Amino acid sequence: MRYRQLAPDIRVSEVGFGNWTVTTGWWGDYTRREAVDLHRRAFDAGITFFDTADAYAEGYAEEVLGEALADVRDEVVIATKFGYDIVSEHERRGQQERPHRTDTDYLRAALDASLKRLGVDAIDLYQLHNPRMAHLDDDDLFAFLDGAREAGKVRAYGIALGPKIGWRDEGVHAMRTRSLGGVQMIHNLLEQDPGRELLDVARETGTRMIVRVPHSSGMLEGNLTADTVFPENDHRRHRPRSWLVEGVQKVDRLGFLTREMTLGQAALRWILADDHVATTLPNIYGAEQIGQFAAAGDARDLTAEELAEVAALYERNFDLAAAG
């Protein structure tokens, strides 16, 4: 495993573990023991960056992470997220977004609750979860975060950008107006925009990026087919069939990346070719993923020729029009 700088005095493994997959029920059901054990397997494989959120199962995910890593706290970097109201009762349908709440009194209570659930004195990276423009322009909110950092409750703070509720403009604006310890975004071989533009701004501002969904919800693991049927409790079951069919066709064009590594490893090395990416958060839902993805930290870098071929394929939409 290789390690990179995230924020001042914070180094992280190139491959991290986001525990939403094993705590929210969107990737299948796990007992608490199973979830804890996967955290430990990840740590034993060299993974030191662990990401969660207070909104994941209303704090349960933080509790699991805290239990799993209690005895190795000084050897890991813990990131969590805040900004949603997880206390009030709200009527929600399906995956409908819950309301944000960022008044200072609520934030103070939310931070203390996260610290308690995680069993730590300080959170290494505290991220504003799927922020809107109004949040990024809220000086009181950022004054609170500065105060939390000065008090030693937070080592660094950043933002985690949401995919469908506004994130390109928010990411650009945040990096240019706030001093952030990290920005989390979606980016992968198949979904390169707006990540490319955000990476340009990261270079401009010196911001370090955390990339989640690096395998395009499992598509870039290379084990899906046009006939794949997802289980009832798998969120991908609700995607249009075109996502699966077109994705498999695109993946078929990437065989040149798999001569010395798996496609899943190559997908991570493609993201890590940009030195403004500090770490990646592949969807880990079993021991096999931990072994494969952690090993990507020791795999060779992609060549300039391989990166150029990926860029050309993306610009041609992976030749889908020609194939169809």
Residues with catalytic annotation? 56
Cα Dmax for the chain: 59
What is the distance between the alpha carbons of residues 7 and 97, in angstroms, rounded to a whole number? 29
Output the CA angle 153-156-158, nearest 5 degrees: 120
d(CA 111, CA 153): 8
Cα radius of gyration rounded to whole Å, the chain: 19
Of 161, 152, 71, 190, the closest CA to residue 119 belongs to 71
- The structure tokens listed for 112 are 């203390």
CA distances (Å), 77 to each of 178, 221, 319, in order? 22, 26, 41
Q: Which residues touch 49 (CB under 8 Å, ≥6 apart)?
A: 6, 12, 13, 15, 16, 17, 76, 77, 79, 279, 281
CA atoms of 45 and 48, how far apart (whole Å): 9
Whether the Cβ atoms of residue 42 and residue 17 lie closer than 8 Å to each other? yes
